[in-house]
C-alpha cells in the first residue's frame, strides 16, 4: 500500500509516492509548466532512474492524470494508493492540524485564498482534480500554518488596534511550518541531541523565505505573518517594508489595489531589485558579471537573513544550531558564507571547506564552534506522508476531523 503526496504551486505540481508502512520514497517527480501554459516538462525519479517528457497539460486535472499514468508505467497502480496527502499553505485559525478533506474543508481553504494567493488556489485545483481521479480513498490536507498553532499571544498579536485581532482575525500565522518542523527534528538527529533541549533557527530559503526560532521542538517566533509577504526578502516578494510606502504609492502615485498586489507578490524581492530574475542562481551569475543591481540584490538578501537570525537568537537567549534548507539554503555555499559572515559574535564559526563541499544533510561549522551550522534537505513530502498516515489511522477517519 502507498501514500501519494501532492504539492501544487502556481506553475508546477510536485508529487511523491511513499510506502504506507515504512515511508520509503518509491517515486517522485514534478510537472513543470513555467515555460508554457499548456505544455509541461514531466520529470519522474524511480529507483535511481530519471525520465523526462514533454506533455500537454492545460490544467491540474490533466496534470494529475499524467502523474497517475507515469506512476502506473513504473509499476505503481492506483488501486494500491491508501491515501493522498496535500500540502496547503494557509490554514487560518480553523485548521490547527491536518484534516481529512470534505466539501466543507475545501470551502474553508477557498475562503483563505486571498491571504495566500500564490498557494491556496493551485492547491485547491490539484485537490479537486485528485479527488475526482481517486474518489475511493481519503484525501488529507496538511497545513504549513499548523506548526505555529501554539505561538504565544505576544507573538501573534500585531501592535495594531486590538479590535482588528478580535473582530477581523488579523494575526500572525507563520508559514513553511512543514519544512521548519522537519528540519528542527532532523537537526537534533544529526547533532545526536535531544530535541527537547535544542534551540535552533531554521532558515527556509527558496523562492519564498522564512526563519523560525524553534525551542524544544516547538516554534517560539517566526518571520512570516498574516500572509507569506512578511519577513525576509524573497524571489518576487519584498518581505517586511514600511507600510507608509504602500499608502504613499496608492495615494500619491495612483497605484491600484490590483497593481499593489501584483507588485508585492510578483515584482519585488530579488527580481524587483536586480531586474534580472527571481532565481537566486541567475542573480548570482549576473552579479559575477559585474551587474551592480544584481550585487545589490544579493547584499540586501543576505543582510535581511542575517538580521532575522540575530533577532530570533535574541528571542531565545542564544542558539545551538543554525539550519539552512530549501533550494537556496541547501545549494548555495556562497549565500551561507555571506549570512554567517558577521555572526561570529554569536560564537558561530563556519568551516569554509566543509561549506563549499557540503551536500545535505551535514554540519558545515568548525568542530569547536558553539553554534553548529547545518545544511538539511527539507523533505516536506515525507513529512506530509507521515501526517497523512496519522490522520487516517484509527478513529481519525471522520471527514474534516482534526487530530
Asked if 199 and 316 touch (Cβ cutoff 8 Å), the reply is yes
Please state the length of the chain. 403
Could you tell me which residues are beta bridge partners of residue 29? 15, 44
Which of 330, 322, 3 is CA-nearest to residue 142?
A: 3
Q: Give me the helix-helix angle, 280-288 and 292-316, nearest 10°.
A: 130
What values do phi and psi take at 32, rounded to 5? -125, 115
What values do phi and psi take at 85, rounded to 5? -105, 135
Q: Which of 144, 155, 320, 361 is catalytic?
A: 144
144 as an active site residue: the answer is yes
d(CA 221, CA 233): 18
Q: 34 vs 9, 10, 39, 94, 302, CA distance in Å?
A: 10, 9, 9, 32, 27
Cα–chain center distance at 380:
8
Catalytic site positions? 144
Amino acid at each position: 500500500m502507498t501514500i501519494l503526496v501532492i504539492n501544487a504551486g502556481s506553475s508546477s505540481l510536485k508529487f511523491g509516492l511513499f510506502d504506507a508502512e515504512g515511508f520509503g520514497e518509491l517515486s517522485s517527480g514534478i510537472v513543470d509548466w513555467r515555460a508554457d501554459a499548456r505544455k509541461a516538462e514531466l520529470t519522474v525519479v524511480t529507483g535511481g532512474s530519471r525520465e523526462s517528457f514533454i506533455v500537454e497539460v492545460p490544467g491540474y486535472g490533466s496534470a494529475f492524470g499524467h502523474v497517475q499514468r507515469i506512476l502506473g508505467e513504473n509499476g505503481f497502480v492506483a488501486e494500491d494508493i491508501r491515501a493522498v496527502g496535500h500540502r496547503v499553505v494557509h490554514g487560518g485559525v480553523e485548521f490547527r492540524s491536518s484534516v481529512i478533506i470534505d466539501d466543507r474543508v475545501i470551502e474553508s481553504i477557498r475562503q483563505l485564498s486571498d491571504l495566500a494567493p500564490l498557494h491556496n488556489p493551485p492547491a485547491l485545483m490539484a485537490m479537486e482534480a485528485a479527488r475526482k481521479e481517486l474518489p475511493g480513498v481519503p484525501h488529507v490536507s496538511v497545513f504549513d500554518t499548523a506548526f505555529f498553532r501554539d505561538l504565544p499571544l505576544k507573538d501573534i498579536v500585531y501592535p495594531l488596534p486590538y479590535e482588528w485581532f478580535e473582530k477581523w482575525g488579523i494575526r500572525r500565522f507563520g508559514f513553511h511550518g512543514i519544512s521548519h518542523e522537519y528540519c528542527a527534528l532532523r537537526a537534533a538527529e544529526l547533532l545526536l541531541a535531544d530535541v527537547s533541549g535544542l534551540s535552533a533557527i531554521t532558515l527556509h530559503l527558496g523562492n519564498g523565505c522564512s526563519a523560525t526560532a524553534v525551542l524544544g521542538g516547538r516554534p517560539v517566533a517566526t518571520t512570516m505573518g498574516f500572509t507569506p509577504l512578511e519577513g525576509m526578502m524573497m524571489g518576487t516578494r519584498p518581505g517586511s517594508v514600511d507600510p507608509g510606502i504602500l499608502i504613499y504609492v496608492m495615494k500619491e502615485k495612483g497605484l491600484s489595489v490590483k497593481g499593489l498586489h501584483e507588485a508585492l507578490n510578483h515584482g519585488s524581492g530579488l527580481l524587483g531589485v536586480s531586474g534580472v530574475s527571481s532565481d537566486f542562481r541567475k542573480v548570482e551569475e549576473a552579479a559575477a558579471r559585474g551587474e551592480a543591481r544584481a550585487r545589490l540584490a544579493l547584499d540586501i538578501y543576505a543582510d535581511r537573513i542575517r538580521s532575522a537570525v540575530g533577532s530570533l537568537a535574541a528571542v531565545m537567549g542564544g542558539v545551538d544550531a543554525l539550519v539552512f534548507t530549501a533550494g537556496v539554503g541547501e545549494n548555495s555555499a556562497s549565500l551561507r558564507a555571506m549570512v554567517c559572515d558577521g555572526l561570529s559574535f554569536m560564537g558561530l564559526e563556519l568551516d569554509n571547506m566543509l561549506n563549499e563541499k557540503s551536500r545535505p544533510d551535514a554540519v558545515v561549522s568548525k568542530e569547536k564552534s558553539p553554534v553548529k551550522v547545518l545544511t538539511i534537505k527539507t523533505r516536506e513530502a515525507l513529512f506530509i506522508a507521515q501526517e497523512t498516515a496519522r490522520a487516517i489511522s484509527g478513529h481519525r477517519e471522520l471527514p474534516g476531523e482534526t487530530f
